[in-house]
């Protein structure tokens, strides 16, 4: 059995969490709820870095009440959950980064597909027109356009492969 004055308990709770925890205790004491579960930060004054806080999870219920319904005692647990909170925050950050990477990948693929389609459409279109060319000069223009766009397409695909090699760490500079 540990008896701690509520003023001492609330004094150690970080300012940002204190009012929320106090309200939860009041709802429990007033009979508005049967149990409470709150997570809050407690300042760690003994550490060199005062901005570090310990996360605590407290669960409590009224143990017994007097004839008027006023709580005589609470029963509960208090557990340090700092490591779990840090892992949760790391997971949230990882999820944000993964979503951002997915968005960037989608945008990259949309841009690349457009860039590939442009010279490819010219190659296919002018290859079909070559059969309908009226003069040898017109055929040569079509061949030149196909050649130029083939070179552009080849360069673009080479650039995409280089990007993949950079990401994989296998690109060798000469």
At residue 137, the pLDDT reads: 94
Q: Which of 119 and 172 is assigned the larger pLDDT?
A: 119
Q: What are the residues facing 48 on neighbouring strands?
A: none
| Confidence bin at 143 (pLDDT 50/70/90) | very high
Q: Within 13 Å, how many C-alpha atoms sit on residue 26's CB side? A: 7
Question: What is the C-alpha end-to-end distance of the chain, expressed in Å?
Answer: 74
Average the pLDDT over 42-59 and give the result.
Answer: 74
Give the tokens for residue 89: 């925050």
Q: Which of 86 and 169 is assigned the larger pLDDT?
A: 86
For residues 74-109, b (16+ Cβ closer than 10 Å) or e, as one string? beeeeeebbeebeeeeeeeeeeeeeeeeeeeeeeee
| Burial of residue 64 (number of CB atoms within 10 Å: 0-12, 13-18, 19+) | exposed
Q: What is the mean pLDDT of the chain?
A: 88
Query: Cβ(93)–Cβ(101) under 8 Å?
Result: no
pLDDT at 132 over 60: yes
pLDDT at 150 over 80: yes
pLDDT at 15 over 60: yes
CA Rg value for the chain: 34
| Confidence bin at 44 (pLDDT 50/70/90) | low
Query: Cβ(85)–Cβ(58) under 8 Å?
Result: no
Q: Tens of pLDDT along 106-131?
A: 998 899 888 999 999 999 999 999 88
SS3 content of the chain, % helix, strand, coil (to 5): 60, 20, 20
């Amino acid at each position: 059995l540990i008896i701690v004055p509520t003023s001492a308990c609330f004094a150690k709770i970080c300012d940002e969490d204190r009012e929320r925890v106090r309200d939860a205790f009041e709802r429990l004491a007033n009979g508005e709820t049967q149990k409470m579960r709150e997570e809050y930060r407690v300042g760690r004054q003994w550490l060199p870095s005062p901005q570090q806080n310990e996360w605590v999870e407290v669960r409590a219920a009224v143990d017994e009440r007097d004839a008027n319904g006023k709580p005589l005692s609470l029963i509960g647990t208090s557990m340090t959950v700092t490591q779990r909170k840090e892992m949760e925050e790391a997971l949230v950050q990882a999820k944000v980064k993964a979503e951002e990477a997915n968005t960037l990948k989608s945008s990259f693929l949309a841009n690349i597909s457009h860039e590939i389609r442009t010279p490819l459409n010219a190659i296919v279109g002018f290859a079909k027109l070559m059969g309908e060319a009226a003069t040898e000069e017109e055929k040569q223009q079509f061949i030149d356009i196909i050649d130029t766009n083939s070179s552009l397409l080849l360069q673009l695909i080479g650039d995409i492969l280089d990007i993949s090699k950079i990401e994989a760490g296998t690109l060798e500079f000469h």
